[in-house]
């Protein structure tokens, strides 16, 4: 790519190592909706589970739009790193205006002027990534009030800035978030629906292509005999893009079947090597979303440590003897924070790292208590539990662990 084209893509993250794969339907929907002459408001939100591929999709869309001349350039800001309106402005300015620095201006209004001029002159696609990192955790009574207020203010200021900039000239705005957004972007429910793009697991063929690409770098195209283990791996990780991408080195070193068998150990290893880094550790990615659950819901979620892959809320209700409202609240919380996706027959497809991550947090007594629950007998199929039940002593054993005694009185 020539230097001029690179400049027009400015701070866009690099495409995935395997090259961007699939998502053609999502790209077309975005294209239709964000077309300059379209009557819709020219913004869209890509929402989905952590690691499902929101950023990758937004970046691919931007590259395509610049390459095909539909937009002159793209500017990309992650609000996880640039978490105040000034920082966002500075990051945008540096991509759009030569030698820009927000500190060179006495106030925001003046700092905005050269950016607004640039945006009027050159149609630009603005991307604000990771908006969920600024959404206030209003339900978390343990968060310091000052912190909650600051993030709420920052989010409002950044969204107001975006709402002011994208209508200029022929600009468009693309947002990504694990969670849905507050005003002004959620003002009109009907419109919001049109502008909300939920992305889910990779399509089966795309997930296969991703694995094939990863393998091709060492061993050439996989043989037909590998097709079965590849499909089994995709099912185990629910076609989750980040999981498949991060498993690439192991796929090459160990092969497909061994990678699937060692999945939990590999996730542990990622966290050991990249503690707390959402892009390199699946546990870190899950921890970010778990931290956004209300504390009592987070406590209830811990029991998911003994499940694998998916869960039916009704099974949870019976198993834990919870009220319907408690199960519903948990299910809604998991979906809203991007830890689960509703599947057919009310099953929740869980982020593939969620169960192993939560299992680490259950101590021996808690695991044993759960294993002894009489309601668990006979659970099969999609509600697989991974507990090894120790011998049951006494029919009336009642587990005492915290989440087992949360039934509303
Ligand atoms: N369509 C795709 N083709 C190839 N690789 C992909 C694709 N989508 C995602 N990936 C891979 O999965 C990884 C995770 O995707 P991405 O960072 O876009 O997820 P995300 O939804 O933005 O996650 P988060 O919520 O943590 O920001 C990428 O780094 C990339 O390697
Ligand atoms: Mg992202």
What the chain holds in terms of domains, given with CATH numbers, is 3-199 (3.40.50.300), 204-261 (no CATH), 286-405 (1.10.10)
Q: Which residues pair with 75 in a beta bridge?
A: 126
For residue 242 and ligand 1, the question of a CB distance below 6 A is answered with yes
pLDDT at 42: 84
Ligand 2 center to 72 CA (angstroms) = 23
Please give the share of the chain, as a percent, with pLDDT higher than 90. 54
Kindly list the distances between the CA atom of residue 373 and the CA atoms of 20, 31, 297, 320, 377, in Å, as whole numbers in the listed order: 46, 52, 21, 9, 8
* pLDDT tens per residue, range 306-316: 888 888 898 88
* pLDDT tens per residue, range 331-368: 999 998 989 999 888 889 999 999 999 999 998 888 88
253 conformational bin, left if phi > 0, alpha if psi -120 to 50, beta if neither: alpha
Which ligand 1 atom lies nearest to the CA of residue 129? 27
pLDDT classification of 181: cutoffs 50, 70, 90: confident
For residue 48 and ligand 1, the question of a CB distance below 6 A is answered with yes
Ligand 1 center to 20 CA (angstroms) = 9
Kindly list the distances between the CA atom of residue 409 and the CA atoms of 7, 294, 316, 323, 406, in Å, as whole numbers in the listed order: 62, 20, 18, 10, 9
Which ligand 1 atom lies nearest to the CA of residue 21? 3
pLDDT at 309: 84
pLDDT classification of 111: cutoffs 50, 70, 90: very high
Ligand 1 center to 274 CA (angstroms) = 17
For residue 130 and ligand 1, the question of a CB distance below 6 A is answered with yes
Q: Which residues pair with 196 in a beta bridge?
A: 45
Ranking 69-78, 270-279, 390-399 by mean pLDDT, the lowest is 390-399
Ligand 1 center to 279 CA (angstroms) = 8
Model's pTM, two decimal places? Answer: 0.86
Non-local (6+) Cβ contacts of 247 within 8 A are 214, 233, 237, 259, 263, 266
For residue 351 and ligand 1, the question of a CB distance below 6 A is answered with no
Highest mean pLDDT among 89-98, 218-227, 400-409 belongs to 89-98
* pLDDT tens per residue, range 205-233: 999 999 999 888 666 666 666 788 999 99
Ligand 1 binding pocket mutation candidate from 13, 55, 237 (most atoms within 8 A of CB): 55
- Give the phi and the psi of residue 9 in degrees, each rounded to 5: -100, -5
Non-local (6+) Cβ contacts of 293 within 8 A are 301, 333, 334, 337
Q: Does residue 99 have a pLDDT over 70? A: yes
pLDDT classification of 22: cutoffs 50, 70, 90: very high
Which residue is it, tokens 């160990």? Answer: 254
Dist. CA 184–CA 163, nearest whole Å: 8
Ligand 1 center to 402 CA (angstroms) = 35
Tokens (6 digits) for 206: 């795309």
Sheet holding 73-78, edge to edge: 73-78, 124-129, 172-177, 43-48, 196-199
Q: Does residue 2 have a pLDDT over 70? A: no
pLDDT classification of 369: cutoffs 50, 70, 90: confident
What stretches of 166-293 show up as alpha helix (H) in DSSP?
189-195, 204-219, 227-236, 241-246, 248-254, 256-261, 263-273, 282-290
Tokens (6 digits) for 341: 């996706």
The DSSP call for residue 192 is H
Mean per-residue pLDDT over the chain, rounded: 83
3-state secondary structure of 201: coil
Q: Does residue 392 have a pLDDT over 50? A: no
* pLDDT tens per residue, range 242-256: 999 999 999 999 999
For residue 18 and ligand 1, the question of a CB distance below 6 A is answered with yes
Q: Does residue 189 have a pLDDT over 60? A: no
Strands (E), 91-206: 124-129, 172-177, 196-199
């Amino acid at each position: 790519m020539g230097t001029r084209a690179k400049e027009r893509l400015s701070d866009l993250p690099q495409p995935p190592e395997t090259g961007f794969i699939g998502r053609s339907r999502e790209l077309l929907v975005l294209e239709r909706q964000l077309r300059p002459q379209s009557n819709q408001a020219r913004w869209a939100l890509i929402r989905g589970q952590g690691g499902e591929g929101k950023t990758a999709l937004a970046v691919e869309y931007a590259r395509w739009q610049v390459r095909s001349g539909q937009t002159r350039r793209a500017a990309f800001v992650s609000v996880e790193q640039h978490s105040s309106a000034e920082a966002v402005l500075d990051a945008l300015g540096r991509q759009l205006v030569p030698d820009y620095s927000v500190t060179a201006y006495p106030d925001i209004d003046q700092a905005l002027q050269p950016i607004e001029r640039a945006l009027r002159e050159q149609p630009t696609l603005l991307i604000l990534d990771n908006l969920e990192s600024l959404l206030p955790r209003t339900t978390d009574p343990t968060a310091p009030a000052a912190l909650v207020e600051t993030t709420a203010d920052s989010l409002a200021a950044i969204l107001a800035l975006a709402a002011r900039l994208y209508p200029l000239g022929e600009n468009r705005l693309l947002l990504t978030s694990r969670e849905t957004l507050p005003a002004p972007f959620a003002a009109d429910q009907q419109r919001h629906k049109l502008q909300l793009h939920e992305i889910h697991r990779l399509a089966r063929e795309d997930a296969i292509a991703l694995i094939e690409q990863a393998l091709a770098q060492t061993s050439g195209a996989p043989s037909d005999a590998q097709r079965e283990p590849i499909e089994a791996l995709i099912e185990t990780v629910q076609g989750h893009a980040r999981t498949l991408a991060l498993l690439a080195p192991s796929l090459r070193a160990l092969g497909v079947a061994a990678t699937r068998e060692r999945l939990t150990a590999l996730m542990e290893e990622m966290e050991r090597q990249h503690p707390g880094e959402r892009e390199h550790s699946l546990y870190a990615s899950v921890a970010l979303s778990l931290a956004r659950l209300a504390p009592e819901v987070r406590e209830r979620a811990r029991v998911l440590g003994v499940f694998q892959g998916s869960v039916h809320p009704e099974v949870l209700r019976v198993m834990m003897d919870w009220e319907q409202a408690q199960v519903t609240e948990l299910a809604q919380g998991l979906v809203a924070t991007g830890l689960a996706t509703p599947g057919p027959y009310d099953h929740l497809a869980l982020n593939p790292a969620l169960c192993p991550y939560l299992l680490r947090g259950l101590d021996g007594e808690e695991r044993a208590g759960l294993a002894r629950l009489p309601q668990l007998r006979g659970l099969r199929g999609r509600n697989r539990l991974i507990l090894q039940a120790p011998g049951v002593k006494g029919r009336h054993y009642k587990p005492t662990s915290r989440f087992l005694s949360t039934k509303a009185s």
